[in-house]
Amino acid sequence: MPVNWEEFEKKIDSIVEKSANATDERLASEISSLTRMTNDEVLELFPDPADVKKLTKLMKIINSAEKRNIKVNNMISNAEEFGGIILTLLGKFV
């Protein structure tokens, strides 16, 4: 079943707004439902809700139907924003 990224982003935004300074279980659950990460891994890797928001934006680009070049260009356009997220993921899974 394809992911409705607009709805997913709205849900993440809502949870982020309600979160304090730490990623909560609801936010971790939303991310883990679309990835191979567990809730605990999401909480460990992305304790800041703002980082989860960046991860969501990156996931949307990666999973878009756009051609590879467009995805790469979108990632490059947002490289500063995604840099920390990519380092965190690579550090965990490489």
Q: What is the pLDDT of residues 37-87, one digit of tens each?
A: 999 999 999 998 889 999 999 999 999 999 999 999 999 999 999 999 999
- The pair of three-digit structure tokens given for residue 52, joined into one six-digit string: 């989860």
Residue 8: the pLDDT is 84
Structural domain of residue 73, as residue ranges?
Answer: 5-93
When divided into structural domains, the chain yields a total of 1
Q: What is the 3-state secondary structure (H, E, C) of 20-86?
A: CCCCCHHHHHHHHCCCCCCHHHHHHHCCCHHHHHHHHHHHHHHCCCCCHHHHHHHHHHCHHHHHHHH
Is 21 a residue whose pLDDT tops 60? no
